[in-house]
Amino acid sequence: MGKELTFRAIIVGSILAVIITMYSAFAGLKIGGVYWPITTASIMALGILTLLGNTNKNEINIAQTIASAGGLLAAGIIFTVPALYLIGFEISIIDITIISLVGGITGVIFSVPLRKQMIEKEQLEFADGKAAAAIIEAGDEKGTKIKLLSAMFGIGIIFSFLRDYLKLIPSFFNLESLKISFSKLFSFGSSISLIPFSGGYLIGPKFTGIWFLGAIISYLIILPLVVANGFFSDKFTAMISLTKPLGIGIVIGAAIMYFVLKGLPALKNIFSDWKESFKENQKMIGFVLIVLVATLTIITEMNLVLAVIAVLGAFVMAYLGGRVTGEINVDPMELFAMIVLITAKILFGFNAVFLVIIAAVVCISAGVAGDTLQDLKTGFLLGTKPKHQFIAQLIGVVIGALLIGVILMALQQTYGFGTTELPAPQAVALSEIIKTDTLSGNLLLGILIGGILALIVSFFESAIIVVAFGIGVYVPIELSFPLFIGGLIRFYADKKNWTEKGRLIAAGLIAGEGFTGVVLALLGLGKLI
């Protein structure tokens, strides 16, 4: 079998975790989603350790396990914490670090014991975990995969440097500048970025198509109609007062319906699954949870009740995140955070900071749980020891937690959240929920529409696609358009059997531009918006 948890696996994995945490944060704020980093991490770890020589598949798997953890931890933070900045609050780097550690560690310790139930007994799919195992098992003959991925990473770096530092490439392109007949119909622009196009490719045509459908209905039908009939003076006012709350309401309604349809039925097995899984480590896990609650209480100044609610919410949503990931390869972590936030606000009316902390802990826990179980699926197929993967996952969580606060602060100061550069759609939705004392008519209408659509769609498709439709209604169409084009490219690539090569190209471009965007922000060299 060979050595697994080696010093060089930890070093390689840790370096890759830094890169993945950085680009995941930037790309997630840019396109409102973080694609599973496990396959990218597998190719990177495979290439580097193969180059170093005398490696084996389990050492490679340990390195990728460390590396991929940072991506989902970053997602949990960027989906939630920017909401505070959007409503005028600030949060310290130390607080962000503690929130990340609590959410990340709970995600790991709540999910690792579920390996036996979900992976060995039920044999849930965990599609990206299975794909990573296939990549590592097959190897990389002549290094073609790592060479292509590295080349695209370099192109992404050069592109971002030319645009954001040297200013040789504009950051925005208006389609009206095209002297063609349809340009006035599509009187909007597109952010000049590799990330939305590449992200659209990775997400695929179905999800991006539904997203763009929401944008088209909002931008080309609803807005012109209400302005032409005198309900609003201009499109901007109509967007703020109508389509933004309507779209956010659709997301909320779809999230609630998704939880009712998917979450509640899954919860019936939660205690039986965990009772069996945790019986050997009850005292250790109990001690860790007490320490986490105490840390959250002392550092962030939450009272004990709120800290317990945060950890209990993390416990439940980590289970759901892991199970849903295993079944459909999508972790709706931000939806689970939204459900917990709405419930907490209705029942207890906590202040904004504490609501976001609870949402962040839950979101991170669900995301890290999904990633952990993907990694454990890879390990199960390759024969990696679960104990070693548990340690590796914790290392990745700690690295991500130590980085993400500094990254978030740098991105806020350089680009801002809720801007064309970093739209942060999930955080925008959370901020609207938090600052609303009474639900507006348009928000309530959106919730009703979202719930009904999700219920209808659930009979033949996952209700989660309605969330994409709602996001398309309220985010700038300048983001939706390149995502849609990326989805169309993916559709064409699938027809031509170019899918896997396209994945490497897209993943490398996202990593390069996202990594450079964060580096420039940290150095204070990025473009101030």
| Interval 199-254: pLDDT, tens | 999 988 999 999 999 999 998 899 889 888 888 887 878 888 888 889 988 998 98
Residue 378 sits at φ, ψ, to 5 deg, of -60, -45
Question: Quick check: is 243 in a domain?
Answer: yes
What is the domain extent for residue 166?
7-176+190-522
Say what the pLDDT of residue 193 is.
87
Question: In this predicted model, which residue has the larger pLDDT, 340 or 140?
Answer: 340
- Domain assignment present for residue 228? The answer is yes
Q: Is 142 buried (19+), middle (13-18) or exposed (0-12) by CB count in 10 A?
A: exposed
Across the range 415-426, mean pLDDT stands at 88
Reply yes or no on whether the pLDDT at 178 is more than 80: no
Residue 1 resides in a domain: no
Q: For all residues of the chain together, what is the average pLDDT?
A: 86
DSSP code, position 162: H
* Unique residue bearing structure tokens 């009712």: 260
| pLDDT the model gives residue 182 | 44
Do residues 185 and 505 touch, judged by C-beta distance below 8 A?
Answer: no
For residue 372, the surrounding DSSP H or E stretch is helix 352-382
Report pLDDT digits (tens) over 447-497.
999 999 999 998 887 778 898 899 999 888 888 888 999 999 999 999 999
What share of the chain in percent tops pLDDT 90? 42
Which percentage of the chain shows pLDDT scores above 70?
Answer: 91
**Cα 477 to Cα 190, 203, 216, 243, 526, distances in angstroms:** 8, 17, 8, 12, 24
| Rounded (5°) CA angle 258-34-167 | 140
Q: How confident is the model at residue 175 (pLDDT cuts 50, 70, 90)?
A: low
Alpha carbon distances (Å) from 277 to 117, 280, 289: 8, 7, 16
Q: What is the DSSP string of 381-450?
A: HHT--HHHHHHHHHHHHHHHHHHHHHHHHHHHHHT-SSSSS---HHHHHHHHHHH-SS--HHHHHHHHHH
Cα–Cα dist 65/371, whole Å: 9
517/156 Cα distance (integer angstroms): 10
15-29, 352-366, 515-529, range with the lowest pLDDT: 515-529
Is there a domain that residue 103 lies in? yes
Contact partners, residue 185, CB within 8 Å, separation at least 6: 220
Higher-scoring residue by pLDDT: 402, 311: 402
Tokens representing 140? 């990389």
CA 206, 212, 216, 217 dihedral sign is positive
Of 528 and 173, the one with more pLDDT: 173
Residue located via tokens 């033949």? 460
Residue 528 has pLDDT above 60, yes or no: no
Per-residue pLDDT band for 306 (boundaries 50, 70, 90) equals confident
* Whole-number Å distance between alpha carbons of 129 and 39: 8
With CA atoms as reference, report the closest residue to 326 among 137, 161, 38, 125: 125
pLDDT digits (tens, 9 = 90+) for 78-121: 999 999 999 888 889 999 999 999 999 989 988 877 888 889 88
Residues 292 and 466: their CA atoms lie apart, in Å, by: 35
Alpha-helix residue ranges (DSSP H) falling in 87-190: 93-111, 127-138, 144-164
The per-residue pLDDT for range 350-359, each reduced to its tens digit, is 677 888 888 8
Q: Are 384 and 4 in contact (CB under 8 A)?
A: yes
CB-count exposure of residue 229 (10 Å: 0-12, 13-18, 19+): exposed
Averaged pLDDT for residues 267-279: 64
88 occurs within a structural domain: yes
Whole-number pLDDT of residue 36: 84
If DSSP codes are grouped into helix, strand and coil, which group holds residue 281? coil
Q: Please check whether residue 184 lies inside any domain of the structure.
A: no
pLDDT tens per residue across span 366-408: 999 999 999 999 999 999 999 999 999 999 999 999 999 999 9
Please write the tens of the pLDDT for every residue from 112-156. Answer: 778 888 898 888 889 899 999 999 998 877 788 899 999 999 999
Residue 443 lies in a domain: yes
Tell me the CA distances in angstroms from 101 to 74, 77, 163, 396, one per residue in order: 11, 11, 34, 11
Residue 270 has a pLDDT of 67
Within-domain flag for 469: yes
What residues have CB less than 8 Å from 402, skipping those under 6 apart?
Answer: 97
Residue matched to tokens 């550690």: 101
Number of structural domains found in the chain: 1
Question: Among 1-15, 53-67, 163-177, which range has the highest average pLDDT?
Answer: 53-67
Residue 177 confidence (pLDDT): 53
